[in-house]
Amino acid sequence: MSARNPGTELDLEWVSRVRVNHQAVLRRAQQIQGRKQGKNQWQAAWLLRAVTCIDLTTLAGDDTPSNVHRLCMKAMQPIRHDLLESMDMQDKGITTAAVCVYPARVTDAVKSLKLANFSLPVASVATGFPAGQTAMKTRLEEVRMAVEDGATEVDIVINRMLALTGQWEALYQEIRQFREACGEAHMKTIMAVGELGNFTNVYKASLVAMMAGSDFIKTSTGKESVNATFPVAIVMVRAIRNFFLRTGHKVGFKPAGGIRTAKDSLVWLTLMKEELGDEWLNPSLFRLGASTLLADIERQIYHYVTGRYAAYHELPLA
């Protein structure tokens, strides 16, 4: 992970001046989506880069210690060893960026990685995920418990009502408290962009979250009806860029929800490269929140190596 974002004082004047040109954002998103992706070797290298930025996630009601264990094993060896050997990448330490689970499953993930003698960040969602509508005391306790159980990253959700009603001071104070509860753990703040109404609100909420000390800002929980979209991402990464230019603090970006194909991941990498530059193209400043994306990337790499597509049973979860 990169250096922490210590946050800044809340600058309400900066927040109030924000205006986002809706049409310009849509045009820019179309431009990035229309980029021709490179072929073969270049593409395979970028797909491996995408793998190293994935927060491999399971957030299901029927999660068990055994499927969390399988997730951890897959995170440690996300691409079949023989495929990496064919690309001469077997000793490059290709793993996913982290595993991401519910707070109750953090101990399972930590235990599985410890037994395998493997060091990989464990991220936990918290603060009443996905709605963020539980009492503040409960949400703070959830953060503290996840960290005590071994989570080194915490994905918190904001109370959307505060953003929708323009209560920026209250939102700032709430996120500051979450940041304090995280202690040494890095904090990713989920905007739930599908529920924030418009681009200007998304930008303002992103700014306030960064001022409050978020190490990452994240699009969605994956549980809303609208999740990570390219127009919303452009709004958020431009807020990141402006925050960096003004404060010198780098904040990471994590799109999540609905990112399923290898092709999608290449567009996300292109967006980061063009909007924020190569410095952001690594897991300390860019994450992809996904549960099914890895399977498609591995299929594409299998095709690159063998010239044919694998059936899914040839690339099992673990």
- Catalytically annotated residues: 218, 254
Packed helices 168-182 and 199-211: angle between N→C axes, nearest 10 degrees = 40
Give CA–CA dist 204/151, Å, rounded.
28
Distance CA 11, CA 207 (A): 9
Instruction: Count how many Cα atoms sit within 13 Å of the Cα of residue 72 in the half-sphere of its side chain.
Output: 27
CA distance 9 to 212: 8
Cis peptide before 65 (omega within 30 of 0): no
Cα separation, 80 vs 206, whole angstroms: 38
Neighbours of 257 (CB within 10 A): 26
How far is residue 309 from each of residues 81, 139, 155, 229, 300, measured CA to CA in Å? 17, 45, 35, 28, 7
Contact 293, 54 (CB under 8 A): yes
CA distance 309 to 211: 46
* Three-state secondary structure string covering 1-67: CCCCCCCCCCCHHHHHCCCCCHHHHHHHHHHHHCCCCCCHHHHHHHHHHHHHCEEEECCCCCCCHHH
What residue type is 114 in one-letter code? Answer: K
